[in-house]
Amino acid sequence: MKFGTKAIHGGLKPDESTGAIMTPIYQTSTYIQDGIGNNRGYEYSRTQNPTRHALEKNIASIENGKHGACFGSGLAAIDCIIKMLNPGDEVISTNDLYGGTFRLFTSIFEKYGIKFHFVGMNDTSAVKAEVNARTKLIWVETPTNPMMNLVDIEAMADVAKSAGALLAVDNTFATPYLQNPLDLGADLVMHSVTKYLGGHSDVVMGALVTSDDIIAKEIYRIQNSSGAVTAPMDCFLVLRGIKTLHLRMDCHCSNGERVAKYLASHPKVDKVYWPGFEDHPNHDIALKQMRGFGGMISFSLIGDRLDDAHEVVSKTKVFALAESLGGVESLIGHPATMTHGAIPKEERIKIGISDSLIRLSVGVEDIEDIIDDLKQALA
């Protein structure tokens, strides 16, 4: 089954009771039982809900996985993965990652005795150097947020397998349409469903996908025990959003390429970070494991002045100044003071998040309007 067909039909079937072609919103907390210990597959909506169950199967289908689990946010999904570990375990993570993930690792889980190593994953040898007997998880973002670095998932899978560790990949930026980490050897895939999968900036949600039955059993145990589940209405909205994921991503990719090339030629722009450029670090990795380069772009300004960046982000009219990404509308943000404000400045500078760095989530508006907006904001 091709991707577009899976996005619309994967893991789904019409409602058996009515024939409704769209999955109903089962807005219920509990379910009638036919007798003690005799239910119809559902007992309580924290444990399982038919609308959520349909979405979990659909997301698993488009990620080429067997098991899916949805949570109240992307961070709640990551929280579930780290709860699989024990005090004394160690995690190797990319040093260029979403600020909320960094905050979760360092301010929540470090105090429970889990140690995190943050390394540049462009170089596989740097990851191997951190591996020891206590390494239980390798955490990858690719492309990374916000520097758009590429990590070789197959190479990381080999490292994780040799160490007897799990490999988890945050696939939010690429989406299942452009990249499938499970096919490349990952054990777990995480999505901030809030972003491209939902696609319309009206839901906060996270998801995990795996093909390993043992890992899936542990995910569902933690999901039920911790209770960080998502609501039926939100699941319905994401089911609707995924049906057009392939169409939206084609437009995000096309518009993103036009914007990246425009910015690269602008006299006030210093550097443009977009995986589609041949001189982008690890561009060859993007060609190997991705089917397109996406709609996420970061760029810095000549002179690297904070005030200049603030002026640009405050002048756009099509691009909205806001957190998040992946919606149909174009968004602009300033990582140093917004999405990555939780990362200490000295750490930000080391990985390239300068004061003038601006991140774009290029939407699906008409490309002429998008570029005209950037032109006037940079003028």
Could you list the active site residues? 46, 98, 170, 195
Concatenating the DSSP letter of every residue in 128-152 gives HHH--TTEEEEEEESS-TTT-----
CA–CA distance, 162 with 205 (Å, rounded to integer):
33
Concatenating the DSSP letter of every residue in 291-345 gives SS--SEEEEEETT--HHHHHHHHHH-SSSEE-S---SSS-EEE-TTTTTTTTS-H
The answer to whether 82 and 109 are in contact (CB under 8 A) is yes
Start-to-end Cα distance in the chain: 48
Q: Which two tokens stand for residue 86?
A: 């024990």
The answer to whether 294 and 275 are in contact (CB under 8 A) is yes
The answer to whether 223 and 229 are in contact (CB under 8 A) is yes
Q: Which two tokens stand for residue 260?
A: 């990246």
3-state helix, strand, coil in the chain (%, to 5): 40, 15, 45
Residues in the chain: 379
How far is residue 271 from each of residues 158, 222, 267, measured CA to CA in Å? 33, 43, 11
Q: DSSP 3-state assignment of 363?
A: coil
The answer to whether 66 and 213 are in contact (CB under 8 A) is yes
> What's the angle, vertex CA 151, arms to CA 148 and CA 152, rounded to 5?
145
The count of other CB atoms within 10 Å of the CB of residue 43 is: 13
